[in-house]
Structure 1
Amino acid sequence: MSAPQNQAAVDLQDQAAVDLPLPGRQARILAEMMRLGWRPLLDHIPGRLMTPLMIRTAFATGALLVRPDSRARVRRFRATARGPGSTAPRTITGEWVRPRDPDEGVVLYLHGGGYSFCSPRTHRVITGRLAATSGLRVLAPRYRLAPEHPYPAAFDDAMDCYLWLLDQGVPAGRVVIAGDSSGGHLAAAVAIEACRSDTPVPAGVVLFSPWVDLSCERLAQIDRSQRDPFISPVVAQRCGLQYAGGHDWSGPGLSLLNCDGLTLPPFLIQAGGAEAMREEIEQFAGVLTEAGTSCELQVWPGQIHVFQAFNRLLPAAREAMNDAARFIRTSVETPTTSSP
């Protein structure tokens, strides 16, 4: 990456960090518990035992212990869509998360999980609060997962959902695409593809700790000097390879850094100061800024990867999600000019 791009990312980080709170006692305890308990589990269990099914079961079980936000209601979603290049209609499923009195507009939320695990159900702690605080309906699709369904399965499913919303008469200027980790990668990829294909662009994009570099080339090196409490580079690299399925890392839908010449909507990117992916997130923010895209990068000191998922525990996570909700409301109230 060129020096100007790197400087842009640093400037964004420093500017955003001025008013962000230092980690409280809860955040420090959570990071230490993850560092001493979760990371060794991921690092030392053999890959043949750390199967997608095992991780999916663990996350699904954990999700059952978390009470959904009482201010939002969940109902199943099922529709038929025909995305660009598809030869036959495809069924898309997921769930709607609705506040009591929804305003006009939709948040298309793409869950994280290394493209290999998790679901809309595991992420209700995020989607429920996002619906309640933004006042908008949240559509969380159940996209296909690797390794059973490598790229471009998840990408196609996410594009199908976005195009389905447009086909239902929801203006692109009333849609914000959001996601965390691999879902953040997917959200950015959908917004970039909309620009490339002259599809109406969404009003904005919100990314929580987006996974930018699926090849994980630098992640292990960074982790050695700044051990990530939550993300294991070994597991992340395995997930990236499973999703890419032999495709070129620099290809459309996989690389987020090739967005020169595109008129992208405004971005809000939040990252944790304690996560090893912080460098690649800052790099992506710098690339967006150099391309002329409005991008607000917030690096929350001492917070872990996707700390927003702990909004029941961490005051900083609640504050971060309130910031995201404000960005979403502002985006749909002042929609961007869509591509023809």
Structure 2
Amino acid sequence: MHHVPGHRLIIRTARTTVDIASRLVRPDPRVRVRPADEVRRDTGRVFGEWVEPRDAEEGPLDGAVLYLHGGGYVVCSPRTHRPITSRLAADTGLPVLVPEYRLAPEHPFPAALEDALDAYRWLLDVGVPADRIVVAGDSAGGHLAASLTGEICRTGLPRPAGVVLFSPWVDLTCELSTREQRLARDPYISAATARRVARLVVGSMDPTDPRLALLACAWADTPPFLIQVGSREVLRPEAEALAGAISDSGGDCLLQVWNGQMHDFQMLNRVLPEASAAMDETARFIRSVLDASAADGETDAEAVA
């Protein structure tokens, strides 16, 4: 994210460059990718893609991962994050829905959140049980996944089974990352760039809005969280602060700080042993929250009987 542009005029060029580079990454042979253009919002369609195990059977969906890609809310797409989404699909056996949410600065926050909410509601509308959905995201997508979870709880929608955040960008004021910049040497992201991008993302919104200010949210009665962050990240204090806020509210949060790792290191899971191990941990977490939801459902059914 050192190279994520903070100026409107060069963002379009950056998006094209990133998209071309993503086309050079060969897809994981264990999965297949197909368009997801049926996810609608009131103002049109939310496009995206499904990444699913190659041997997945046709039929009604009984579970899914809703993945929200990173990129500072200004660049990247479902295609750029296939190294993570394909690994999630292969390891969990679940289809992964990756919406192509609207990007800033053309569409500042909360446009991305509105699209994420529509994607979640669509999964519910087509019959996927909420307790068989896991919400996940990385970097800015981690912020979006957490914001979506908070909005689900505030609006009374059925809660997902769990939430996974990779290197989440929690504090869009960038106060915590600016302090950490004096010590951290993350080659991927800098606090100065994050602050410049944040101004484009926030736009005219009140920065204290709970959909933006995650550390000021009430995190009671939320689903279990897994947060993974590298020890070298300037965003590490933000991840730690969010984990603390969730735990202090009585929530269930597992924080994993991976020693020596940089921002979004999970993207390198095909070549970096630590990244592969982190994805293994993620698959275990997802299986555990789905198993727990299934057990709760059986207990409820027995109580009714």
Aligned partner of 2:243 in structure 1 is 285
Amino acid of the structure 1 residue aligned with 2:18: F
Amino acid of the structure 2 residue aligned with 1:72: V
Aligned partner of 1:217 in structure 2 is 175
Amino acid of the structure 2 residue aligned with 1:69: D
Amino acid of the structure 2 residue aligned with 1:54: T
Pick aligned residue for 2:14 from 55, 61, 64: 55
1:103-153 CA-to-partner distances (Å, cap 9, x unmatched) read 831000000000000000000111011100111000000000000100111
The alpha carbon displacement at 1:228 in A equals 2.0
The alpha carbon displacement at 1:333 in A equals 2.3
Where in structure 2 are the equivalents of 1:145-224 lying within 5 Å?
Answer: 145-224=103-182
Q: Distance in 2 between matches of 1:194 and 1:47?
A: 30
Root-mean-square deviation (Å): 2.1
Where in structure 2 are the equivalents of 1:84-123 lying within 5 Å?
Answer: 88=42, 90-102=44-56, 104-123=62-81
Contact map agreement 1:98 1:138 (CA 8 A) in 2: yes
Contact map agreement 2:220 2:246 (CA 8 A) in 1: no
The alpha carbon displacement at 1:50 in A equals 7.6
Q: Distance in 2 between matches of 1:293 and 1:141?
A: 27
Q: Distance in 2 between matches of 1:240 and 1:209?
A: 16
Pick aligned residue for 1:76 from 26, 29, 35: 35
Aligned partner of 2:202 in structure 1 is 244
The alpha carbon displacement at 1:48 in A equals 5.1
Secondary structure in 2 matching 1:207? strand
Q: Distance in 1 between matches of 2:219 and 2:187?
A: 37
The alpha carbon displacement at 1:215 in A equals 1.4
Amino acid of the structure 2 residue aligned with 1:238: R
Pick aligned residue for 2:226 from 257, 264, 268: 268
1:270-313 CA-to-partner distances (Å, cap 9, x unmatched) read 00011011011101000000111110000000001010000111
Q: Distance in 2 between matches of 1:264 and 1:134?
A: 22
Q: Distance in 1 between matches of 2:273 and 2:17?
A: 26
Aligned partner of 1:13 in structure 2 is none
1:55-110 CA-to-partner distances (Å, cap 9, x unmatched) read 2123212212211111000000112535xxxxx45311100001034483100000
Residues 47 and 326 (structure 1), Cα distance of their counterparts in 2 relative to 1, 3 Å cut: closer
Contact map agreement 1:80 1:90 (CA 8 A) in 2: no
Q: Distance in 2 between matches of 1:47 and 1:197?
A: 33
Structure 1 runs not aligned, ≥5 long: 1-37, 83-87
Secondary structure in 2 matching 1:335? helix
Aligned partner of 1:27 in structure 2 is none
Residues 232 and 58 (structure 1), Cα distance of their counterparts in 2 relative to 1, 3 Å cut: farther
Aligned partner of 1:17 in structure 2 is none
Q: Distance in 1 between matches of 2:86 and 2:204?
A: 36
Residues 196 and 59 (structure 1), Cα distance of their counterparts in 2 relative to 1, 3 Å cut: same
The more displaced of 60-69 and 98-107 is 98-107
Q: Distance in 1 between matches of 2:290 and 2:40?
A: 24
The alpha carbon displacement at 1:332 in A equals 1.8
Q: Distance in 1 between matches of 2:18 and 2:43?
A: 31
1:149-170 CA-to-partner distances (Å, cap 9, x unmatched) read 0011100000000011001111
Amino acid of the structure 1 residue aligned with 2:241: Q
Pick aligned residue for 1:301 from 242, 251, 259: 259
Amino acid of the structure 2 residue aligned with 1:323: E
Contact map agreement 2:8 2:105 (CA 8 A) in 1: no
The more displaced of 249-258 and 283-292 is 249-258
Contact map agreement 2:170 2:239 (CA 8 A) in 1: yes
Q: Distance in 2 between matches of 1:90 and 1:168?
A: 18
Aligned partner of 2:301 in structure 1 is none
The alpha carbon displacement at 1:49 in A equals 8.8
**Is it true that 1:329 corresponds to 2:283 in the alignment?**
no
Aligned partner of 2:97 in structure 1 is 139
The alpha carbon displacement at 1:261 in A equals 6.0
The alpha carbon displacement at 1:334 in A equals 2.0
Residues 47 and 100 (structure 1), Cα distance of their counterparts in 2 relative to 1, 3 Å cut: closer
Structure 2 runs not aligned, ≥5 long: 298-305
Q: Distance in 2 between matches of 1:124 and 1:216?
A: 28
